Structure 1
Amino acid sequence: MAARQPARRGRGERAGLSRQQVLDAALELVDRSGLKALTMRSLGEELGVEAMTLYHYVPNKDALLDGLVEQVFTTASPAMDGSADWRTALHAYATALRAGLLRHAALLPLAASRPAVTPATLDEVEAGLRLLTASGFSLDRALHVLNSLAVFVIGHATAEARIVVAPDEAGGADWLATLAADRYPLLIRAAREGVGVDDGERFAFALDALLLGFEALRTA
């Protein structure tokens, strides 16, 4: 007796996947080929299923994009359950978010343009608000803190990913060293000493300044 062949999956039929597997595959595709390469068809090919099958896990393309934003924000941020000092928690959050955005730089336009709308992302926002209000911030200032911090991190990561200048190009260290010494002595000195050019150092400096400012305004 011939062996029974497995039934062929029809269009739109579940494929034994999960939403997380779909998002993971989408993130890998975007990392490799960019946002423009991400379509429901290309993602289906990546997973070996019909494009219609994906709609069991993400209802539409917008939901897929929101899920990608969720991937970066939720995996980069530590749990803010109120057990940590708010400055320590926000410092860890911002540092991890920058690292995640630089690791998945193709998602920077999404991070800058799409609000938090998925339950997992909103859970992170709610946790942050709980921590900040329990630490003395009013609700409106707590929202300002979280939004300001996110805008700063996204903007800094975007600049890091896009502005890459070789030493001999305009704006580079070697180029700066050729400027007129009587007109730009401090710029030339900075170029020769290599100071003020480390992205990570600049980020940490500005982050500390932000957190100090938030502290000064916390109960003002």
Structure 2
Amino acid sequence: MSTERRAPLDRKRVADTALKLLNEVGLEGLTLRAIAKELDVKAPALYWHFKDKQALLDEMATEMYRRMVASAALDPADSWQERMLKANRGLRAALLSYRDGARVYSGSRFTGTDHAREMESNLRLFTASGFTLAQTVRANSTAYSYTIGFVIEEQGVKPLPGERREGYDVQERARLLAEFPLAAAAGAEIFEDYDRHFEEGLALIVAGVESWTRLG
């Protein structure tokens, strides 16, 4: 009989296992039963820690956030523009490292107060730069929503780096839309070069925030 002792089953171990399994099966295949099998426990054991799948997704999103901030310390010398760019680039990179990462993160609720330190620092930076608290929240919420939405669409085409879902061949799309030349040509601007497109969209938001605050 094996005498090897397994790590105790706690929220972090379940969330870590779920994130690992997510890259293999995607959000639709991520069931509590599948996670329990991976952990070599019975499914009811998970309900001691999570009342349902959404509670688990909340913990997964929180763990994703912990990992993201652990790898990218805030720079107090940042301008608000630099902080907005860095924060959303970092968020996109973090989400892209998991299959369906943006869908897991979107709409989830952090399970603790781990995010409060970075949030407070960000709010202080923006308000010290002349923003009201309301303007700060609106500007950052807009950039955050853009990033989440962009990555959801990006992962709909490329679930993980190096993968591409069937049906998103730009040349085939152009052939099918040949009688609509502008729509056909737009395919490359929608379904290719996501890095460039993300940066262009983020730059538009920063420029828009700058113009908005001058008007206000």
* Paired letter, 1:36: E
Question: CA–CA distance in 2 between the matches of 1:113 and 1:72?
Answer: 14
After superposition, the Cα gap between the structure-2 partners of 1:122 and 1:45, relative to the gap in structure 1 and judged at 3 Å, is farther
CA shift digits 1:60-108 (9 cap, x unpaired): 3333211222233443353446342222122111112112222324233
Asked whether 1:84 is paired with 2:78, we answer yes
Question: Offset at 1:204?
Answer: 0.5
Aligned residues: 201
Candidates 199, 202, 207, aligned match of 1:207: 202
**Who is 1:69 aligned against?**
61
CA shift digits 1:1-21 (9 cap, x unpaired): xx9x96xx9xxxx94355433
Q: How does 1:99-138 map to 2 (within 5 A)?
A: 99-138=93-132
Question: Offset at 1:22?
Answer: 2.5
**Who is 1:161 aligned against?**
155
Cα RMSD, aligned residues only? 3.4
The worse-fitting range, judged by mean Cα deviation, of 26-35 and 72-81 is 72-81
**Who is 2:38 aligned against?**
46
**Who is 2:89 aligned against?**
95
* Paired letter, 2:169: A
CA shift digits 1:32-84 (9 cap, x unpaired): 1122333333323212334455456x443333211222233443353446342
* Paired letter, 2:51: N
**Who is 2:51 aligned against?**
60
Say if 2:27 and 2:104, in contact at 8 Å, map to a contact too. no
Aligned with 1:204: secondary structure?
helix
Structure scoring higher RCO (CA < 8 A, sep ≥ 6) equals 2
Say if 1:76 and 1:93, in contact at 8 Å, map to a contact too. no
**Who is 1:216 aligned against?**
211
After superposition, the Cα gap between the structure-2 partners of 1:63 and 1:128, relative to the gap in structure 1 and judged at 3 Å, is farther
The worse-fitting range, judged by mean Cα deviation, of 59-68 and 90-99 is 59-68
The worse-fitting range, judged by mean Cα deviation, of 64-73 and 89-98 is 64-73
Question: CA–CA distance in 2 between the matches of 1:149 and 1:46?
Answer: 36
Tell me the TM-score normalized by structure 1. 0.72
**Who is 1:27 aligned against?**
19
Percent of paired sites with the same residue = 28
Say if 1:44 and 1:51, in contact at 8 Å, map to a contact too. yes
* Paired letter, 2:170: P
User: Larger C-alpha radius of gyration, 1 or 2?
Assistant: 1
Question: CA–CA distance in 2 between the matches of 1:167 and 1:73?
Answer: 34
After superposition, the Cα gap between the structure-2 partners of 1:216 and 1:38, relative to the gap in structure 1 and judged at 3 Å, is same
Question: CA–CA distance in 1 between the matches of 2:183 and 2:16?
Answer: 45
Question: CA–CA distance in 2 between the matches of 1:155 and 1:195?
Answer: 16
